Amino acid sequence: MKKSLLKQINLPKDLRLLNQEDLPHLAKELRDFIINIVATKEGHLGASLGVVELTIALHYVFNTPIDALIWDVGHQAYGHKILTGRKEIFDTNRQLNGISGFPKRSESAYDAFGVGHSSTSISAALGMAIASQLKGEDKHHIAVIGDASIASGMAFEGLNHAGVTNANLLVILNDNAIGIDPSVGALKQYLTNVKKGTEKQDNIFEALNFNYSGPIDGHDLPTLISELKRLKTIKGPKFLHIITTKGKGLRQAEENQVKYHAPGKFDAKTGELVTKNNIGQEAPKYQDVFGETIVELALKNKKIVGITPAMPTGSSLKYMMDTIPERAFDVGIAEQHAVTLAAGMATQGLIPFCNIYSTFLQRAYDQVIHDVALQKLPVVFCLDRAGLVGEDGATHHGVFDIAYLNCIPNLVIFAPSNAIALRQIMYTVQLGIDVPIAIRYPRGRGHIIDWKTPFEKIEIGKGICINKGEQIAVLSVGTVAFKIKNAIASLDKKFNVGQYDMQFIKPLDTSLLHDIFQHYHAIITVEDGTIIGGFGSSVLAFANTHNYKHNIITLGIDDQFVEHGTTDELNQLQHLDELSIKKEIENLFLTVNNGHV
């Protein structure tokens, strides 16, 4: 049996001591290591398997971390982490207090730039390259970007600028024809033609003043190393086009690249997914409630269109793309375009449901303000993955949307407490609204199995009294209402607590709020977004405006970037779990009653 090479490598300096002919064996070991860990710990599998040879070649040829290596998005950086001092703790990947699932500057000197959202690598690497020039440093700057990410506007902004500099920048295009879902758009077709040798136009990257080479086989280590060594000798902006297979080395991951992007638990030997044995029927995912409902509505209302930036499977807009393909659009990693495309459609009387993950709508903030809200265009924003999303961590939590949308005029913000409310608000808005609306809902399953109830219109700006109480009222928006209900149910019977699902962050139900403040002595607000600028802040502002002197406790996400962990663990840390909510109620009750129960 051949001696393990991976065991000898703790840092890239160890890797560079190996003979080049030993590297293919190291690549197999590294693949097996990733597969065995991710099989039980979960994570992003396919992307990292696809760049094993590239990862080895880059650290073998370049003097990292002095030479800066930036991975776009970072889904593909597991091999990089293992080879740069984190092999022994890689099993903590994406776990509470463990290493991050993405490159992170505070974690390692080899993580030159923190990533998580796409298309930032070229701009960041160019910034570093220009800084090196200004400081008189002679080192290399490498940006590794995928064919889905490079189609984004920001990537082209970076390429456009880099092409008129003499910065020591190498852009490596990892072309596997897929992001999370298959890549889309005219650039994909162009790259396909380049790979086939049928592209007759001028090379687009050469036209942008890059020294272009490729395409080459991204799994051929000798060719990769030879070409990288050659490119090290060339000054100015360079572009290397490599062809890889996402999921390389695991048959199922190669054959089902969408599912094995982040497959959950699977058998490391066979590649088969580990299925959960569920007793009885499960409540649906909120994504599927959206996906099934938009199809149901769109089949009756010809004005409805669906838009998503590169997330058709994750958002479940895939259902509409399969059923009514002419009215469902995957625009690629282009959130700004998605929002203004929706605005343009709305001017022509269509009803665009623009489905964007909460954390990714941040990338299109100006378009929401300038192109939609300012013009009062009735775009329906469906903000998937709102709240804490778990193991993907700080770059992916959808905790800022309430705060960053709350200040925008002409915009309604709705947070359904369950699947039925999501279904009913989607029905309501397609009947006709005169302003845009943001509907925010979490990742994962709800708690209601029989959610396909008859359609009923929701009154915009109206909250719901779940149960009337005395002394203390708990007000919430979104699916946290379920935890509040359980927390209240677990209280001693001497506590008689009111619960209200306010539904709308904007406009607030001021009539209901007046009733609440006139009936109760103290208020607790609960939300799965930031306390600063959130729903609780709006309630505090209301109380101040109307001179209510109540004791008001606001629960939500603290003024911090929340790291990675399970959603249960993170909710406990943010005091948003049932037990924490229960304790807040009990403590407030003691305060209201001067310490007497």
Partners of 285 in the β-ladder: 445
Bridge-based pairing of strands 498-501 and 464-467 is: antiparallel
Is 476 strand, coil or helix?
strand
Beta strands in 429-545 (DSSP E): 437-440, 464-467, 472-476, 498-501, 504-506, 522-530
Catalytic residue among 87, 94, 246, 385: 246
Asked whether 81 and 99 are in contact (CB, 8 A), the reply is yes
335 an active-site residue?
A: yes
Q: Is the dihedral of CA 569, 111, 47, 312 positive or negative?
A: positive
Tally of CB atoms within 10 A around 114? 18
- Of 227, 335, 391, 578, the catalytic one is 335
Structure tokens at 512: 């209901």
Q: Which amino acid is at 339?
A: V
Active-site hit among 104, 188, 363, 483: 363
Sort strands 504-506 and 412-414 into parallel, antiparallel or unpaired: antiparallel
- Crossing angle between the packed helical segments 153-162 and 121-135, to the nearest 10 degrees: 30
DSSP reduced 3-state for 402: helix
- Bridge-based pairing state of the strands 522-530 and 551-557: parallel
CA distances from 67 to 110, 127, 198, 310 (A): 9, 14, 36, 32
Which tokens hold the place of 58?
Answer: 């880059």
If we measure between CA atoms, which residue out of 438, 440, 359, 366 comes closest to residue 400? 359
DSSP 178: B
The single-letter code of the amino acid at 218 is G
Number of alpha carbons in the 13 Å side-chain half-sphere of residue 404: 19
Q: Give catalytic residues, as residue numbers.
A: 246, 335, 363
